[in-house]
Chain A
């Protein structure tokens, strides 16, 4: 049990996908104008990650033992189909969210966090339950990072910021500071 909690906390905070592994930076810099949108994109991310974790476990157990060179191709096809499915679901359930997420919804396919999750959880040799917990932690971590940055960016809108700093440069510097704060979690649980 404690092993599972450690996997979760590690993926959520210590090895946060966005802030310490640099995975999923495009939506991190692109869709973080508003907290609400960022949070919902985070949820969509978690959902796709869960499906990917299930699928990558199945592929890894039954297919890739026979053909390891198909690893990347099979993972990416599974992810692309999962994203297609989520896209259809969101379009049906909440057209306004669909509009707010725009291009970044189909771009989850090329979000490195998702493929990274599949690659890391298979290379770490996680079993089925561990894989699911890892996906939840990683997805939660991505959501946390998205919401944090969106919160700070909402605040910066009312500030008087010199024109040359505005935009991506400012976001990156804020992200650097948040990432520095997350380094503090490295000492958690005696720094394993």
Chain B
């Protein structure tokens, strides 16, 4: 009895940790590209987007996992989408009411969390097949990984593109910002080079082990 309890815990931990690094949704699985490029021109926006996605993913996973035996197989995708859209509507209205600045900065991209492939992907491949406890762990892990990735991109783009971090100026008045970094091409370049860096890390690790 003790042993199964322990196994359960270790499996849950595994589900939590895998999303952060080994199966990172952005850097490894390349999911949820649109928000990870569109709203990462400052670190604050990136963090807000990460937290909003965390909320939606967590609650959708809980609900889908609870309903996994009730939802008929043929209409599952539509059901997941409706569940996700409901939670996105909740966060959309909540942000509009309490944090109008952030809501304005993120614009339509809050509503577009509905079509983040990461969320639907987790419902289809994990929450619909596992119990609530594991689904929560998986959702939290994936969200942490997603938020971490967004923050990485956001920090690089803000530091280079505006010479500041979380709105605080870093380099003083003589710094000439790389405007291109906060424009659309900068998003592609930063993510491209981050992926390149992770590929290089993986290759190197393979070589030495």
**Interface size grouping (class) on chain A:** 35 or more
Quick check: B78 and A120 within 8 Å, CB to CB?
no
Quick check: B200 and A164 within 8 Å, CB to CB?
yes
| Closest A residue, CB atoms, query B198 | A169
State the Cβ distance, B156 to closest chain A Cβ, in Å.
13
Which of A3-11, A88-96, A107-115, A150-158 sits within the interface?
A: A107-115
23 contacts between A and B (CB under 8 A): A22-B37, A22-B184, A22-B187, A71-B89, A72-B111, A73-B85, A76-B114, A77-B78, A107-B117, A110-B115, A110-B117, A115-B115, A119-B108, A123-B108, A168-B192, A168-B195, A169-B193, A169-B199, A172-B188, A173-B192, A175-B188, A176-B189, A179-B185
- In the complex, chain A residues whose CB is within 8 Å of the CB of B180: 180
What are the interface flags for B96-111 relative to A under an 8 Å C-beta threshold, 1 for contact and 0 otherwise? 0000000000001001
Quick check: B34 and A112 within 8 Å, CB to CB?
yes
Is there a chain B Cβ closer than 8 Å to A29's Cβ? yes
Number of A-B pairs, beta carbon distance below 8 Å? 121
Quick check: B34 and A73 within 8 Å, CB to CB?
no
**Residues 139-188 of B at the A interface (beta carbon under 8 Å):** 180, 183-188
**Residues 133-192 of A at the B interface (beta carbon under 8 Å):** 163-165, 167-173, 175-177, 179-180, 183
What are the interface flags for A23-38 relative to B under an 8 Å C-beta threshold, 1 for contact and 0 otherwise? 1111001000000000
- In the complex, chain B residues whose CB is within 8 Å of the CB of A77: 78, 81-82
Using a CB–CB cutoff of 8 Å, the interface residues on chain B facing chain A are 30-31, 33-34, 37-38, 77-78, 81-82, 85-86, 88-89, 92-93, 108, 111-112, 114-117, 120, 180, 183-189, 191-193, 195-196, 199-200, 203
Using a CB–CB cutoff of 8 Å, the interface residues on chain A facing chain B are 19-26, 29, 69, 71-73, 76-77, 80, 106-107, 109-112, 114-116, 119-120, 123, 163-165, 167-173, 175-177, 179-180, 183
- 18 further A-B pairs in the complex, CB-CB below 8 A; given A21-B38, A109-B77, A168-B195: A24-B34, A26-B33, A26-B34, A29-B33, A72-B89, A76-B82, A110-B115, A111-B115, A112-B115, A116-B108, A169-B195, A173-B196, A176-B187, A176-B189, A176-B192, A180-B180, A180-B185, A183-B183
